[in-house]
Structure 1
Amino acid sequence: MRLPEIERGDTLAHRLLIRMISRMSGYRLPDAARVAFYDTAYAGPALGAWTQATMRGPSSWSVSERELMAAQIASWNSCPFCVGAHGAIAVKGMDRALVDAVLADYRAAPISDRLRAALAFLDRMTNHSVTADDARAALDAGLSVQDLEDAAAVGAVFAIITRNANALDYEIPSAADFDRAADMLLKRGYG
Structure 2
Amino acid sequence: MRLEILNSGYRPATKALFAVIRIFSGQSLPDAAKLVFYRPDFYGTHAKTFTHEAMRGPSAWSVGDRELMAAYVSKVNNSAFCIGAHTATAGQAYQDDAKVGAVLADLDSAPIEEGLRATLRMLGKLTREGTVTADDMREVLSAGVTRQQVEDALAVCAAFDTTNRLADTFGFELLSPEGFASGAKFLLKRGYR
Q: TM-score, normalised by structure 2?
A: 0.95
Which among 133, 136, 144 is matched to residue 134 of structure 1?
A: 136
Q: Equivalent residue for 1:153?
A: 155
Q: Equivalent residue for 2:35?
A: 35
Q: Equivalent residue for 1:18?
A: 18
Moved over 4 A (4+): none
AA in 1 matched with 2:25: S
Q: Equivalent residue for 2:7?
A: 7
Secondary structure in structure 1 of the residue aligned to 2:92: coil
Q: Equivalent residue for 1:68?
A: 68
**Partners of 2:15 and 2:88 in 1: how far apart?**
27
Q: Equivalent residue for 2:58?
A: 58
AA in 2 matched with 1:155: C
**Partners of 1:105 and 1:113 in 2: how far apart?**
14
Maintained 8 Å contact 1:56/1:189: yes
1:102 shift after superposition: 0.5
**Partners of 1:123 and 1:54 in 2: how far apart?**
17
User: Does 2:126 correspond to 1:125?
Assistant: yes
- Structure 1 residues 74-93: aligned runs within 5 Å: 74-93=74-93
Maintained 8 Å contact 2:93/2:188: no
Show structure 2 runs of 5+ residues with no match: none
AA in 1 matched with 2:138: R
1:157 shift after superposition: 1.0
1:141 shift after superposition: 1.4
1:9 shift after superposition: 4.1
Show structure 1 runs of 5+ residues with no match: none
CA RMSD of aligned residues (A): 1.1
Cα deviations by residue, 1:38-70 (Å, 9 ceiling, x for unpaired): 111342111110000000000011001100110
- Matched length: 191
Cα deviations by residue, 1:61-115 (Å, 9 ceiling, x for unpaired): 1001100110010011010100111111101122111111101111111110011
Q: Equivalent residue for 1:99?
A: 100
Q: Equivalent residue for 1:168?
A: 170
Q: Equivalent residue for 2:183?
A: 181
Secondary structure in structure 2 of the residue aligned to 1:111: coil
Maintained 8 Å contact 2:36/2:47: no
**Partners of 1:41 and 1:164 in 2: how far apart?**
17
Maintained 8 Å contact 1:84/1:178: yes
**Partners of 1:64 and 1:169 in 2: how far apart?**
26
Secondary structure in structure 2 of the residue aligned to 1:44: helix
**Partners of 2:61 and 2:8 in 1: how far apart?**
36
